[in-house]
Structure 1
Amino acid sequence: MTTVTTRTVAYPADGLTMLGHLALPAGTGPRPAVLLGPEGPGLNDVQRHRADALAELGYVALAFDLHGGRWFTDPQEMLARVTPLLADPDRMRDIGHAALDVLRAEPRTDPDRIAAIGYGTGGAIALELGRAGVDLRAIGTVNAVTTGRPGEAARIRCPVWAGVGSEDPIMPPEQREAFTAEMQAAGVDWRLVVYGGAEHAFHHPSVEHTVLPGVRHHPLHAERAWRDIVNLLAECLPLTE
């Protein structure tokens, strides 16, 4: 296992002081980098550990914050903050750009080789960065097959991979169809993986505390989705380039 260095980085966004988790791989030279967005409740150790795992592979990784260092345990309180955020593409982009600026400012980051991946709300933000025309090597989302404003998907300049559970009531079949139609019409290089039997947030091992229906951990598909993301990065953001 390679030596990974981590630190908390504070930065302003959305009127809050965000507390991101930066993970650096061994070595001293510039490396490709990954912006990692958390699900609606916020940044917790699950996503911090994913950033660390990416750094072990050789990437600079920043798990960004959504709520000023807060993790929501009350689903209704979380929805009260996240629902208007998801309805505001410009606000999502501002949160994403603020984190991207932190990642680009890290001396170990190769600014020309950055990918954005995210889960739930964090995935929606990654997609909005693409729709804003940000120069990314890849976009990967889990549980976020969100659509954007008309025509803006044509600005996406990289492959898009999306994973979703077949039984996800928050991202149902009609939402998946709208997403793929948007990507196809925009000429995006897109892929969608539907994980059979999985519900929303199937990738997150501690979601059982929630009272929201249709939210359940699926360990097998969680591992598969992670491997799919790592394969996306290996294809689009190779470490040996």
Structure 2
Amino acid sequence: MPDIDLAGPGAARRLTGYLVRPDGEGPWPGVVLVHEAFGLDPVQRGLAETMAGLGYLTLAVDLFSNGGARRCLVSTFRSLVSGKGPALDDIATGREYLRSSPECTGKVGIIGFCMGGGFALLTAPDFDASAPNYGFLPRDESVLENACPIVASYGGKDVSLRGAAAKLEATLTKAGVPHDVKEYPGAGHSFLNGGESGPKIMRPLLRVAGMGPEPVAAADAWARIDAFFTEHLAAPAR
């Protein structure tokens, strides 16, 4: 399926996305997918297809549309840290694209992986359900006080996010946000990926660091995401 133009004619910035429709007839609940730091590569597109297979009109927004990862990565992480900037605007554009689509019920969730998991937490107040996967917690955790329901997954072997699952659990419990947070002891970072991602030259190093697929944990995490999104996105918003 070809990418779609989300920016429209005459836009100052380029923005594309990968839209995947479920089988059958809509309308369907929508899901914005936010990719990991390596970009919207075939592995991340595969995750969008998995989400569509669960029955969601899925739009993977390419945060690196306007120049590629080399040019956009720093500014995108700057948006993640500051809570403002083009990356947040791009995610909002994707959300409104789905909400305005006749193929969508009007209910829209967000799912993110790695860097995208951080954005799924940061923008949780703007969606109907959120699934951050191994995402960094917002610097200002008060944004989670008004968050939508959250289903989050972390790997116990992910040294970059040690303690994040427990901290998120405590924050959401205190805020009274419906949630399901789980840490998988045998999994590391990027365990939901269906294959190895990132530049080929880096993949041996990523494997040594314990990053990559872990099918058993991934199957359980997908089942939890499916059940949680069914509960919180099934009721039509229109």
TM bin, normalised by shorter chain, reads 0.7 to 0.9
Aligned pairs (5 A) from 1:3-18: 6-12=1-7, 16-18=13-15
Identity %: 27
| Change over 3 Å in CA distance of 1:218–1:55 after alignment to 2 | closer
More helix by share: 2
Q: 1:198 aligns with which of 187, 193, 196?
A: 187
Is 1:86 equivalent to 2:76 in the alignment? no
| Change over 3 Å in CA distance of 1:200–1:79 after alignment to 2 | farther
> How many angstroms apart in 2 are the aligned matches of 1:116 and 1:143?
14
Gaps of 5+ in 2: none
Q: 2:114 touches 2:135 (CA, 8 Å); kept in 1? A: yes
| Change over 3 Å in CA distance of 1:206–1:166 after alignment to 2 | same
TM-score with structure 1 setting the length:
0.80
Q: 2:169 aligns with which of 176, 180, 205?
A: 180
Which residue does 2:31 correspond to in 1? Answer: 34
How many matched pairs?
226
Which residue does 2:142 correspond to in 1? Answer: 151
Q: 2:30 touches 2:104 (CA, 8 Å); kept in 1? A: yes
Q: 1:95 aligns with which of 82, 90, 109?
A: 90
| Change over 3 Å in CA distance of 1:84–1:8 after alignment to 2 | same
Which residue does 1:138 correspond to in 2? Answer: 129
Gaps of 5+ in 1: 1-5
Q: 2:155 touches 2:187 (CA, 8 Å); kept in 1? A: yes
Which residue does 2:161 correspond to in 1? Answer: 171
- Output the amino acid matched with 2:18: H
Aligned CA-pair RMSD: 2.9
1:153 positional shift: 1.5
